[in-house]
Amino acid sequence: MVSKITMGTVVVIFFLGSLILVNPSQLYVSPDETANAYFASLFSESGSFRGSFDVLADSIDGQLHPRSTVSIDGVLLPGSFLGLPFIYGVIAAFVGSWVFWILTPLLTILAAIAWGRVIDRFTNPLIGKLSFGLFLLHPAVWYYSARGLMHNVLFVDLLILSVWMFVVRPLKRSKESRGIWNDILAGLFLGLALFVRTSEAYWIVGGILLFALAWCRQISYKRLPAVFVGLLFGITILLGMSTLTYGSPFHTGYTIGTTQIEDLLSTDSLDALTTLPFGFHPMNAWRHFLAYGVEMFWWLSALTLFGFFILFSQKRHAWSVRSSIMIATLISMWLVFMYGSWEIHDNPDSTQITMANSYVRYWLPMYLFSTPMIAAAIVWIAERGRTVLARTLLVITLCLLIVGFNVHAVFLQGQDGLVSMRAEIHESELIQASVLRLTPGDAVIIVDRADKLFFPHRRVLYPLRNEATYKVMQSLVSQAPLYYYGISFPDVDFEYLNNSRLRRMNLQIRLVETYNQESLYLIFSP
């Protein structure tokens, strides 16, 4: 019913759609993506994440850096996890940084095939093939594959590959090896997944233990040493790169300059050690789950709920399958409470509920777990057809409807749809070219949210409306040309800066160029 031609068509549609944001200026949508591209390129060229020493950055106590990075002792360092820039940097060292645009889509295609094989193993081929397509074209997966320098899709891809290697064991086995390389790679992919998103370790460890209990009779524990060898290798890379980059194996970009883990262990602070780092706020979690887990993808949510009861109730499915569904549900609930308790406002307008808000990418594992349930619902509905033709048409109709809704959500829905983002990037290319032409190469540009436009071509500092920024302005003006790029000042604010706020610092500000509602200003000493 689902042919190889159909699966190939799904792959082509996904891959081409994922390239919509490719641009010659190497501009990215978020500071996270910009930073990951920069450090991956740096690692591919130098084998290190440590940027060159900057005397100017050192002179103002590390304030001179874009978002998603940190400056320590005049050296620019990643402000996030190192896994993605490491993996992509290694690959780029052989083929070039152009590969950043396609790596996540390609790995996601491989992961989708692997996921379909895993589901096939425990249900049936049709549910497995449908799970493949539903994962690949899921709005959240598709959207963040197009924005492939975010960590989250790569993290999920590596988890799937780990499960695939352990469960399906796709590599050829001989009497001598007994599939040992499958187990080593299962552990390695798991270690690399933790390298990419170390913060997910709590639920991964808990999930592994629960699955081990549920499948204890089917698992050969003789395989575990090989898995452990692969896992240890991945974790060793993680700890080694953290040490080389931050000076401690227990530091990440999120903790550098803050209290180390070993220090936390000696305190009584529950907040420091909690497995729910954003607190426990059930009403917030419920509200965010309804918005981003149910309403945003309502057509998938309805089928997920229906499929849940089908898979859980049908006698033909073994208890091990039903228990796996329950474990996946528990993990999903954990993710909902962990991230849903946090108030995240990625969009300047906090009322906007869009694909670009972080809850969507944080809940990618939950969306992954939903795909076999959606597939089971489609199969159940199709089975109501009286003939093979009727059943086939039902499957095709349901899949086309799902794909249609998915395409609208990914590409066309709201200001954060990929079509709108592509137009925004094109406009940003023109602004970037103009600003770089109007500013010297050694300039510092103060920004609010435009660091992704100018870094790494110019040094950036953020934000303007901050006392720490005002305190270093005099020092910056004396050492480098200083500019501000952001929302254009009304006349009253412009006069206040020149006649009061900046004047007290013996500084002035002058308009250089205006771009729609934003402007470039020169800050100087008269």
pLDDT tens for residues 329-365?
999 999 999 999 888 777 666 677 889 899 999 999 9
pLDDT, position 344: 78
Cis peptide, bond prior to residue 463, ω within 30 of zero: yes
Give one DSSP letter per residue of 387-414, joined into a string.
SHHHHHHHHHHHHHHHHHHHHIIIIISS
Q: How far apart are the first and last CA of the chain?
A: 76
pLDDT, position 273: 37
3-state DSSP assignment of residue 343: coil
3-state DSSP assignment of residue 524: strand
pLDDT, position 263: 42
Whose structure tokens read 């070219």? 433
pLDDT, position 275: 57
Give one DSSP letter per residue of 213-265, joined into a string.
HHTTTT--GGGHHHHHHHHHHHHHHHHHHHHHHHSSTT--TTTTTS--HHHHT
Closest CA to 69 of 34, 29, 35, 28: 35
pLDDT tens for residues 60-70?
888 899 999 99
Please answer whether residues 249 and 242 qualify as being in contact, where contact means their C-beta atoms are separated by less than 8 angstroms. Answer: yes
Local structure of residue 65 (DSSP, 8 states): -
Please answer whether residues 21 and 422 qualify as being in contact, where contact means their C-beta atoms are separated by less than 8 angstroms. Answer: yes
pLDDT, position 311: 85
Residues in CB range of 386: below 8 A, 6 or more apart: none
Closest CA to 76 of 98, 55, 93, 100: 55
How far is the C-alpha of 368 from the C-alpha of 352, rounded, in Å?
Answer: 24
Question: Which H helix or E strand runs over 444?
Answer: strand 444-447
Contacts 24+ apart (CB under 8 A), 196-199: 196/81, 196/83, 196/84, 196/87, 196/151, 196/154, 196/155, 196/158, 197/81, 197/83, 197/151, 197/152, 197/155, 198/81, 198/83, 198/238, 198/252, 199/81, 199/277
In which residue ranges of the chain is pLDDT below 50?
A: 258-274
Tokens of 263: 């220090």
Residue type present at position 19: L
SS (H, E, C) 104-162: HHHHHHHHHHHHHHHHHHHCCHHHHHHHHHHHHCCHHHHHHHHCCCCHHHHHHHHHHHH
pLDDT, position 348: 64
How far is the C-alpha of 118 from the C-alpha of 376, rounded, in Å?
Answer: 15
Local structure of residue 269 (DSSP, 8 states): -
What is the bridge-based pairing of β-strands 459-461 and 444-447? parallel
pLDDT, position 151: 95
Residues in CB range of 250: below 8 A, 6 or more apart: 242, 260, 261, 262
Q: What is the CA radius of gyration of the chain?
A: 25
